[in-house]
Amino acid sequence: MAWNTSSYTFDLLYDFTTDAGAGAPNHFISSTKFDAMFDDIALGMEQSYKFGTAFRNKALNGDFQVWSNGTTFSSDGEETADRWYLTEGTGATVQIDRQTFAVGQTAVPDNPTYYLRWARSVVGSTVSGLYHQVPTVARFSGQTVTMTFWARASAGTPSLEITNVQHFGTGGSPSSDVTSDASQVTLDTTWTKYTIQMAIPSVSGKILGSNADDNTKFRLHVPVSEGAVTFELSHVQIEANTVASPFEVRDTDLENVLITGLTATSTFVALTDTPGTLNAHRLLKSNSAGNAVEEGPVTFPAADGSANQILRTDGAGALSFINPNYPPGFLSGLDVTVNSTDAEHDIDIAAGSCRNADDDGNLDIASALTKQLDASWASGTNAGGLSSTLTPANNTEYYVFAIEVSGAADVGFDTSATAANLVTDHSITNYREIGRFITDGSANISVVFDRNQVNAVAVTTQTTPSGGADGDVWYVYS
């Protein structure tokens, strides 16, 4: 994950970027509470990085708070608490359960909600236990790793063995696994913190598999000689450090995000097969448990949209690119003025955008237009503007409308305040009043005012309107 702000970049351990490279799928993750926790995460990350303590615990779900797979498990290799896997052993019977701490208990710090219980009822011929794996063998190569955990036995003083396995992945001809640093601790019936240090071998000269699934496993096993054993586990921390630091408590929502970003069987959905193309068929939504689940199928557009467009669903699985809706009443640009060449018959309209009169669509005029009063409406600039069943009339008020005809935005003139003639004559589908003008006794444009203007607009008349003289300045209010 790359974390970017205006002043710094954080590169976190766990990579769930949205562009994994050419040919690799882009991914999205979802959490019901991600938005609510976003600011807290950002602040925590910033502070943690300033003090060098962020994400020092490389064990995911080390306090066993996330159990999206269930609460009871008994199959070899099964994922139990998220990111923790059961090792049953040949001929053995082992069960892992989620257990709940008593409210207010003080035996294990930080008030965790759950802990893991591991129980072997039938002893087999090989060791039994559980393991956690950290992505890549390079993560701890040649370093000292400190592992801490809290544990107790249900009875007696059984031994627990801790080993490290470097798995170089699959595909091609990877190097063989390297198992090292077996250590033992003796449990008792009291919650106790145990600390193990491991010298992790260097991976220099090793060959990785081609499937990019190499990892470093940390295994906790009960030897066969211990017989039937039950032990309980909490607060597992794995850090590249020579000393044990306090357990890193992470928000459960954040832990869910990290787990989802790493689980090979998570509900990631490949939204692109190749960056820049749109041909996926499923989306993600959050379920009531806060997990990302697939929804669909949906059909994406065959080609990318225009700049700043968004995707809209028709409710039946088909998506299309549209322009974002402008707010009700929105109007920008579209200034209406008298044309300087033919002031008696032509109106200039500046480029601009507005919300239509019914507030169910946008109108965007990309370039300035000149429209003519003395010609029937036709599309484009330097073309007629008057609805075709109308003719220029003396001493008449005309409305200037931004309109849509056959999907194209334009401008037209009408004597109707609701563009009724334009609707009938030219089948316009959207309209919005953007200005008005008044003709004089010779049916020439006399007074123009602009709906963008809030204050009075001073207009010098070209000829004498009723009640005035040539050259009078008239003030018209919108």
Q: What is the pLDDT of residues 324-372, one digit of tens each?
A: 888 888 999 999 999 999 999 999 999 999 999 999 889 999 999 999 9
362 in a domain, yes or no? yes
Q: Please check whether residues 297 and 340 belong to one and the same domain.
A: no
Q: Please check whether residues 229 and 363 belong to one and the same domain.
A: no
Residue 470, pLDDT score: 52
pLDDT at residue 399 above 50? yes
Pairing between β-strand 229-239 and β-strand 457-460 as defined by DSSP bridges: unpaired
Give residue 338's domain range: 331-476
233 in a domain, yes or no? yes
**Helices 34-50 and 252-262, axial angle in degrees (round to 10):** 90
pLDDT at residue 16 above 90? no
Residue 283, pLDDT score: 55
Q: Please check whether residues 80 and 221 belong to one and the same domain.
A: yes
14 versus 472: which is more confidently predicted? 472
Band of residue 35 on the pLDDT scale cut at 50, 70, 90: very low
Q: What tokens were used for 247? A: 């357990």
Comparing 21-35, 237-251, 354-368, 455-469, the range with the smallest average pLDDT is 21-35
What is the DSSP secondary structure assignment for residue 425, as one 8-state letter? H
Q: Please check whether residues 279 and 363 belong to one and the same domain.
A: no
33 versus 239: which is more confidently predicted? 239
Residue entry with tokens 């499937």: 211
Q: What is the mean pLDDT of residues 194-199?
A: 94
* pLDDT digit string, tens, across residues 91-105: 999 999 999 999 999
22 in a domain, yes or no? yes
Q: What is the mean pLDDT of residues 57-70?
A: 94
Q: Please check whether residues 318 and 354 belong to one and the same domain.
A: no
Residue 9, pLDDT score: 32
Beta-bridge mates of residue 369: 349
65 in a domain, yes or no? no
- In one-letter notation, the amino acid at residue 339 is N
Q: Please check whether residues 178 and 232 belong to one and the same domain.
A: yes
* pTM, rounded to two decimals: 0.50
Closest to 218 in 3D by CA, of 325, 97, 137: 137
Residue 287, pLDDT score: 59
Q: Please check whether residues 14 and 81 belong to one and the same domain.
A: no
Q: Please check whether residues 238 and 258 belong to one and the same domain.
A: no
pLDDT at residue 394 above 90? yes
Comparing 31-45, 278-292, 347-361, 428-442, the range with the smallest average pLDDT is 31-45
pLDDT at residue 430 above 80? yes
Residue 223, pLDDT score: 95
463 versus 405: which is more confidently predicted? 405
Say how many C-beta atoms besides its own lie within 10 A of residue 17's C-beta: 12
7 in a domain, yes or no? yes
466 versus 81: which is more confidently predicted? 81
- What average pLDDT is seen over the chain? 81
Closest to 399 in 3D by CA, of 381, 364, 423: 423
Which one of 324, 352, 378 terminates a domain?
324
Q: Please check whether residues 364 and 383 belong to one and the same domain.
A: yes
pLDDT at residue 467 above 60? no
Q: Where are the alpha helices (DSSP H) in 263-393?
A: none
pLDDT at residue 114 above 50? yes
Q: What is the mean pLDDT of residues 456-469?
A: 46
pLDDT at residue 156 above 60? yes
Task: CATH number of the domain at 184, please.
Answer: 2.60.120.260
Residue 26, pLDDT score: 37
DSSP 244-299: PPPP----HHHHHHHHHHH-TTS----S-SSTT------EEEE-TTS-EEEE---B
Beta-bridge mates of residue 147: 196, 238
Q: Please check whether residues 356 and 457 belong to one and the same domain.
A: yes
* pLDDT digit string, tens, across residues 287-321: 555 555 656 667 778 788 887 788 888 877 788 88
User: Is there a contact between 450 and 457 (Cβ–Cβ < 8 Å)?
Assistant: yes
Residue 51, pLDDT score: 37
183 versus 11: which is more confidently predicted? 183
307 in a domain, yes or no? yes
Residue entry with tokens 């089948």: 427
Q: What tokens were used for 407? A: 């999907």
Residue 457, pLDDT score: 43
Q: What is the mean pLDDT of residues 453-459?
A: 42
Band of residue 23 on the pLDDT scale cut at 50, 70, 90: very low
Q: Please check whether residues 297 and 335 belong to one and the same domain.
A: no
Beta-bridge mates of residue 284: 294
* pLDDT digit string, tens, across residues 203-230: 999 999 999 999 999 999 999 999 999 9
Q: Please check whether residues 429 and 282 belong to one and the same domain.
A: no
67 in a domain, yes or no? no
Q: What is the mean pLDDT of residues 149-172?
A: 96
Residue 28, pLDDT score: 39
358 versus 477: which is more confidently predicted? 358
Instruction: Considering only the C-alpha atoms of the chain, give the largest distance between any 2 of them, rounded to a whole number of Å.
Output: 116
Which one of 324, 357, 376 terminates a domain?
324
Domain count, the chain: 3
Comparing 71-80, 95-104, 270-279, the range with the smallest average pLDDT is 270-279
Closest to 436 in 3D by CA, of 420, 460, 415: 415
Which one of 265, 298, 324 terminates a domain?
324
Distance CA 419, CA 404 (A): 12
63 in a domain, yes or no? no
